Amino acid sequence: MERIPQPDPELTLFGLSHAASVLLITVAVLAIYVAVDLLRPRPRPRGGEGERGD
């Protein structure tokens, strides 16, 4: 039986398959984007509903 040529393991993360490493990178980029979005200070709404003015 012939062996199916595998991609060079040096090109993948942590010895994962190519698809798994691409998925891992995608999830990491999305997680960073969400974290930056959550950490970004937002302007406070001026007297919106549910807000009590002290």
At 39, give phi and psi (nearest 5°).
-85, -15
Residue at 54 is within a domain: no
Residue at 1 is within a domain: no
Q: Per the structure, how many domains does the chain have? A: 1
pTM of the model: 0.49
Rounded distance, CA 20 to CA 16, Å? 6
Residue at 20 is within a domain: yes
Q: What tokens does 45 get?
A: 């709404």
Which residue is listed with tokens 């980029």?
Answer: 29
pLDDT digits (tens, 9 = 90+) for 5-49: 766 656 656 667 788 888 999 999 999 999 999 998 777 766 656
Residue at 34 is within a domain: yes
Q: DSSP characters for the chain?
A: -PPPPPPPGGGSGGG--HHHHHHHHHHHHHHHHHHHHHHS--PPPSS-TTPPP-
Domain that holds residue 17: 9-39
Which amino acid, 16? L
